[in-house]
Amino acid sequence: MHKNSEAKQPKETDEIKKKLESYAALHRRIDNQIERLENLEAVMGSISSPSFDGISGGGGDGTSKQERQVIQKVTLEETIRRMIADEDQERSELEALISEMEKPDEQTVLEMHYFDAANWWTVCAALHGSREDYDEHEQRYLKRTFKLHGSALQSLAKIYRAKQSNSNGDNSTSRQQISNNARQKPQEGRRRAFFVCQKKYAHTQEKAADGALTSTQGDKKGQKGIKGDKPPCYSV
């Protein structure tokens, strides 16, 4: 009993490392969900009928296959929006902490590995690849990268603990400012494209529902929107 209790003593860096890993996992999860949405829209775009009326393949509850896909798409989009909001806040909090670190190389190792999902060899090459003997001593530089990661976690843990020790009033103000910054911060790459696409696609579908795009000799652009063709949203 005594031996086991001593073996699992928590490290000073455990809490901040868990926060970094949690962010990285959420980032990856969002990418996977966007991929799901792309695949769903590709399937929906392949359906030839521009209307929900008279579609075969309905379920036992009376809904058509396309109606169920639309419901699935809307639900998935809302899930992605919530996850991106959480991701923005977590990243803003971590970036604020990392910005207070004194050593640029320590900042880089954390940003590349946890924010950019870079593997250790990529991080190692970015930090040490310009050295003349890098090719000859890659393993040695990789070990140096691991050691740098450990010291970076220690530095960040100290900053994190100092922030936690502040008064509750200061913390609440800081968190509110971080939350505001997250909402104002431009979305990166695919995520920004996701939000831009949502506005355009929703507007097109709203017009289609009102019949604005289904009348007369067929505005080709409008018909394309009605058919649910996959909008060029996620190519970033």
Domain boundaries, the chain: 12-49+62-185
The helix (run of H) or strand (run of E) holding residue 98 is: helix 65-98
Nearest alpha-carbon partner for 93 in 183, 174, 184: 174
Instruction: Work out the mean pLDDT of the chain and round it to a whole number.
Output: 75
Quote the percentage of the chain above a pLDDT of 70: 58
The residue ranking higher by pLDDT, 195 or 22, is 22
Q: What does residue 231 show for φ and ψ, rounded to 5 degrees? A: -70, 150
Tokens found for residue 24? 């990285």
Span 136-171, pLDDT tens digits:
999 999 999 999 999 999 999 999 999 888 745 455
Do 68 and 59 meet the contact criterion of CB atoms below 8 Å apart?
Answer: yes
CB 60 within 8 A of CB 119: no
Q: Report pLDDT digits (tens) over 34-82.
A: 999 999 988 887 654 444 444 445 555 566 888 888 999 999 999 999 9
Is the pLDDT at 119 greater than 60, yes or no?
Answer: yes
3-state secondary structure of 118: coil
Position 118 confidence tier, pLDDT thresholds 50, 70, 90: very high
Per-residue model confidence (pLDDT) at position 230: 42
Residue matched to tokens 């996620």: 234
Question: In sequence order, what are the residues at sequence separation of 6 or more whose Cβ sits closer than 8 angstroms to the Cβ of residue 111?
Answer: 98
How far is residue 194's CA from residue 183's CA, in Å, rounded to a whole number? Answer: 15
Q: Which pLDDT value is given to residue 212? A: 46
pTM for the predicted model, two decimal places? 0.63
Supply 49's token pair.
Answer: 């009928």
* Structure-model confidence comparison of residues 147 and 224, the more confident one: 147
Predicted local confidence at residue 165, as pLDDT: 83
The yes-or-no verdict on residue 10 having pLDDT over 80 is: no
Name the token pair of 130. Answer: 């310009």
**Helix or strand run (H / E) with residue 11:** none
Are the CB atoms for 201 and 231 separated by under 8 Å? Answer: yes
Q: Name, in order, each residue with C-beta under 8 angstroms of 131's C-beta and a sequence gap of 6 or more.
A: 141
Q: Which of 27-31, 106-110, 118-122, 206-210 has the lowest mean pLDDT?
A: 206-210
Mean pLDDT, residues 195-219 taken together: 51
Within 102-229, residue ranges assigned H as helices are 104-110, 120-128, 138-164, 168-184, 189-209, 220-226
pLDDT for 183 beyond 90: no
pLDDT of residue 43: 87
- Rounded Cα distance, 93 and 114, in Å: 13
Res 88: pLDDT: 94
Q: What angle do CA 37, 77, 223 make, to 5 degrees?
A: 70
The pLDDT of residue 46 is 65
Following DSSP, what letter does each residue of 131-155 receive, concatenated? STTTTTTHHHHHHHHHHHHHHHHHH
Answer whether residue 224 shows pLDDT above 90: no
75 or 194: which carries more pLDDT confidence? Answer: 75
